[in-house]
Amino acid sequence: MRRIVVVGNGMVGARFADEVRRRGGARLTVVGAETHPAYNRVLLSTVLAGGIDPAAIALPVADHVDVRSGTAAVSLHPATRTLTLADGTPLPYDDLVLATGSRAWLPPVAGVPGPGVVGFRDLDDCLAILDMARPGARLVVLGGGLLGLEAARGLAARGVEVTVVHPAGHLMERQLDAGAGAVLAEVVAELGVQVQLGVGAVSWAAGTGLTCDDGTVIAADGLVVAAGVRAETTLASDAGARVDRGIVVDDRLRTSLEHVYAIGDCAQHDGAPAGLVQPGWDQAAVLADLLTGADPTARYRGTRAVTRLKASGIDLTAVGDVHADDDTVELLRLTDSRRGRYAKLALRDDRVVGGIMIGFPDAAASMIQLHDNGSPAPSDRLALLLGRALPGEATPTSDPGHLPAAAVVCRCNTVTKGSLVAAWRAGATDLTALRGATRAATGCGSCAGTVEGICAWLAATDTPAPTRDESHERPVAAAQLRERAVRAESGELHERHSRAIQLPDCAVRSEESTHERTEGAA
C-alpha cells in the first residue's frame, strides 16, 4: 500500500484523510502542529458569539489513520521522500500532501504583537479572546473584512463594547461596492458594533488603547487582530517548490516537486478563490481519486465560490465580479438602507457576472443559480432583483420538500436535495444519519434548517428502507450509506448537474485571505 503523508490536520487535511479512507488502498499519516484534534474552523465565529461550545466543533476522526497532533514538520526532502518532524523523527512517504493552510498576518503597528493583543485565526486564539470578552469589556477589532466583522458581531452579542477600525472607505471592500458597504455599516451599528472607517492603526498600548493615524485614541481593554492571512508556504519554499502567493499547483494538485501535492489555503490554483473552504474540499476529493487510483482522470478545474458573511442578524451574499462596471455591463441596484437591505446585479450579455445581496435571501438564491449555470436572466429584472422565484422553481424560504431534486442544499459539500433523498432511501432515516451519509450541514452549518426541513418532509411522506444490514444484523455504517446514496443518485439524478439551484445559506469562508494585499494596509 502506498504511504501518503499529510502535513496539516485542519479542515482540508482532515477531509482529505477521510476521502482517502473511503477509497482505501493507502496507508495514511496526518501530521498537525496544533495540539487540538481537527476542528471546524468556520464555526469559530459561532463559538465566539456563544452559539456553540468549543468541544462541539471537533471533526470526526477517520478510522485507520495515524494522526499525530501537536507534531510540527520542520523540513522536507524530496530526493529521499522523507519528512522530518520537530523531534527529529524522519517520516518516509510515497506521496506527500501539503495542507498547511494559512497564518495570521500582523500589521506593522507599534505594540503588536504584545500584551492584550490576540489574533483571530485558530481555536487557541478564540479561547484567548473569550477570556477577554467579559460583559462591559471594551475591545477593538482591527480589520473590517469578513473575519473582523464576524468577530465583532460575536463579541457584541456577548455584551462587549466593540469598535471596528478599518483603513478602507467602506467595509468588506474586496467583496462589496461602496453602496453595499454603507448599508452593512448601518446594519452592524444597529447590532451594537461601532465602526471607524478610513483610519489606520498606529500603536497599541495595554491599559490605554489604540492610537489611530488621525490622532484619535480608542480606549480599550484588548485588541483583536483580523487583518488578513498569508498562505503557509515555508516548508514547500525551503524544499525548493515553486511559490508565489501560495504553493503553485496544476489541475492534478501537483507542486513543482516530485510526489508532493498541495491543497487548500496553502495552494495557489487559478480556479480556486482564496480563503474559502469549499475549494479545499473539492481539491481533497480530486486528489484522493488520483492518489488511490479511484479515478486517474480526475482533475481540479476550479470552484465557483460564494462569499457569505456568517454573522447573526446579517444576511449577506456576494458572487462573481461585484465591481464590474463598463459599457458592456447592465447594472441593477436597489437600496433600502432604512431596512438594512441592498441588492445589486451586474449582467453582461444577459448573464449574471456578479452580484451582492443584503437582506434578500431569495434573490441571493436566484442570483447564485444564474451565475453558476450561466443561464440567461429572466426579462423581468425587477422580479429577479426582489427575489421572486424563477419560473418553475421553489424558493429557499418555501417548503423545502418542493425544491427540485437538483437543488444544491449544502454548498460546502455540494449536496443536492436528490442526494439527501437517495441517502434516506438507502437507510439514513434520521437527521444524524442523513448528515453522516451525505456530510450535509457539516460545513458552516447554515443549511441546517433546510436539511432538517427535508428530513421532516421525508419522514412524513416517504417509506424508508431498513436501517439495518439484514445479512449481518448490524447497523449500516455511514460510509456504506454514502456509497448507496451515490449509487442511487447516479441512476435517479443523472441530470443533476445540468441545472442546480445554489442556495446561498451554505457558502462558507475558512479564513479571510489577503495574499495580494492586506486589510491593515489597504
Quote the pLDDT of residue 112.
96
Beta bridge partners of 330: 347
- Distance separating alpha carbons of residues 515 and 72, to the nearest angstrom: 23
Listed residue (275, 49, 224, 47) closest to 119, CA to CA: 224
Residue type, 269: H
267: helix, strand or coil: strand
Quote the pLDDT of residue 402.
63
Listed residue (129, 99, 104, 97) closest to 116, CA to CA: 129
Q: Going from the N-terminus, what domains does the chain have, and what CATH number goes with each? A: 2-102+230-292 (3.50.50.60), 117-227 (3.50.50.60), 315-334+341-389 (3.30.390.30), 400-521 (no CATH)
212: helix, strand or coil: strand
The one-character DSSP state at 49 is H
Q: pLDDT tens digits for 257-305?
A: 999 999 999 999 999 988 889 999 999 999 999 999 999 999 999 988 7
Show pLDDT as tens, one digit a residue, over the chain (522 residues): 899 999 999 999 999 999 999 998 899 999 999 999 999 999 998 999 888 999 999 998 878 899 999 999 999 999 999 999 999 999 999 999 999 999 999 999 999 999 999 999 999 999 999 999 988 899 999 999 999 999 999 999 999 999 999 999 999 999 999 999 999 999 999 999 999 999 999 999 998 999 999 999 999 999 999 999 999 999 999 999 999 999 999 999 999 999 999 999 999 999 998 888 999 999 999 999 999 999 999 999 998 878 888 788 899 999 999 998 889 999 999 999 999 999 999 999 999 999 999 999 888 888 988 888 888 998 888 888 887 755 555 555 456 666 667 777 777 777 878 888 888 888 888 888 888 888 887 776 667 777 888 888 888 887 544 444 433 333 444 445 455 544 444 443 333 333 333 343 343 444 344 333 333 433
- Distance separating alpha carbons of residues 131 and 122, to the nearest angstrom: 15
List the grid coordinates of 297: 482522470
Quote the pLDDT of residue 499.
35
